[in-house]
């Protein structure tokens, strides 16, 4: 049979991968729901018991002593679940999106965002771009939200789909290019190509590079970076 079987085998492999991804999404959704429900319960009961603020500490200690096989429900973990619930319980804007991103990404967003608007921004960004925790951490550490908001105010209100120019931010964090203080367009182009993965992460995943088609996009991007 040889190559004749490849289309059929590849189809089965695709179905397996899709099932795996769906299973992971389902598991993640159930975990987020669990953490939400635990956080809701802790928030409601924390002020009712005679232990006061030590209620969560005592709960974590009991779980550890009596159910050591249960992981993640330490004092720190329980406080985070309570914080998670209390942070988003009145935020209808993102309530439907909470189960679509990982718990690690939720922790990054809660610990790094200063406002509700910033949290909403990063949650929607994670859902849209399917960020890993490493990718999200880089965007947060590079102040992506602040730079995006500044660019949003400066740019013409043209829909992104109609004007590729508006897909570029006014400023970029391009430290990964490791360019010298003085460089020319050729140096910049070469550095971007060699660091294409990080460059795509910086400008967003809306771009797809196929064959030689990336040249026009790179030229547009370089002109933007040079202010032309």
- What is the mean predicted confidence (pLDDT) over 89-94? 92
Helices then strands, counting H and E runs in the chain, come out as 10, 0
Residue 99 has pLDDT above 80, yes or no: yes
- What is the mean predicted confidence (pLDDT) over 33-58? 84
| Cβ-based burial of 82 (10 A; exposed 0-12, middle 13-18, buried ≥19) | buried
Q: Are 221 and 192 in contact (CB under 8 A)?
A: yes
CA dist 228 and 220 (Å) reads: 9
Which tokens sit at 1? Answer: 């049979």
Residue 226 has pLDDT above 50, yes or no: no
Residue 21 has pLDDT above 70, yes or no: yes
Give the angle 113-201-99 at the CA atoms, nearest 5°. 50
Which tokens sit at 59? Answer: 């709960």
CA dist 12 and 169 (Å) reads: 41
CA dist 173 and 148 (Å) reads: 12
Residue 91's pLDDT band, with cuts at 50, 70 and 90, is very high
Taking the alpha carbons at both ends of the chain, their separation in whole angstroms is 57
Tell me 115's DSSP state: S
Q: Which among 142, 145, 150, 149 is positioned nearest to 172, based on CA atoms?
A: 142
Give the angle 149-150-156 at the CA atoms, nearest 5°. 90
CA dist 76 and 44 (Å) reads: 18
Which segment, 20-34, 52-66, 79-93, 187-201, is predicted with the most confidence on average? 79-93
- If one compares 97 and 167, the residue with the highest pLDDT of the two is 97
Q: Using one digit for the tens of pLDDT, what is the confidence trace for 109-156?
A: 999 999 999 999 999 999 998 888 889 999 999 888 888 888 755 433
Q: Which of 52-56, 86-90, 171-175 has the lowest mean pLDDT?
A: 171-175
CA dist 223 and 228 (Å) reads: 5
Q: Using one digit for the tens of pLDDT, what is the confidence trace for 154-211?
A: 433 333 343 334 444 444 455 555 666 666 667 766 666 666 555 555 545 444 444 4
- What is the mean predicted confidence (pLDDT) over 11-21? 86
Q: Model pTM? A: 0.64
What are the respective helix, strand and coil percentages of the chain, to the nearest 5?
A: 70, 0, 30
- What is the mean predicted confidence (pLDDT) over 7-22? 85
Average pLDDT value for the chain: 76
């Amino acid at each position: 049979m040889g190559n004749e079987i490849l289309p059929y085998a590849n189809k089965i492999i695709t179905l397996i991968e899709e099932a795996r991804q769906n299973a992971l999404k389902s598991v993640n959704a159930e975990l987020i729901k669990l953490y939400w429900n635990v956080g809701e319960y802790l928030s409601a009961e924390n002020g009712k018991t005679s232990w006061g603020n030590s209620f969560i500490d005592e709960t974590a200690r009991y779980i550890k002593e009596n159910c050591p096989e249960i992981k993640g429900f330490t004092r720190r973990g329980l406080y985070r679940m309570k914080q998670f619930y209390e942070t988003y319980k009145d935020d209808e804007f993102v309530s439907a999106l909470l189960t679509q991103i990982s718990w690690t990404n939720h922790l990054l967003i809660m610990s790094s965002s200063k406002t509700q608007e910033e949290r909403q921004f990063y949650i929607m960004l994670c859902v849209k771009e399917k960020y890993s925790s490493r990718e999200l951490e880089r965007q947060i550490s590079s102040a992506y939200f602040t730079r995006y908001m500044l660019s949003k105010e400066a740019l013409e209100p043209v829909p992104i789909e109609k004007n590729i120019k508006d897909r570029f931010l006014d400023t970029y964090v391009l430290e990964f290019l490791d360019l010298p203080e003085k460089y020319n367009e050729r140096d910049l182009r070469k550095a971007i190509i060699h660091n294409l993965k990080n460059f795509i992460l910086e400008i967003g995943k809306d771009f797809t590079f196929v064959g030689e088609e990336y040249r026009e996009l790179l030229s547009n991007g370089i002109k933007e970076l040079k202010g032309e």
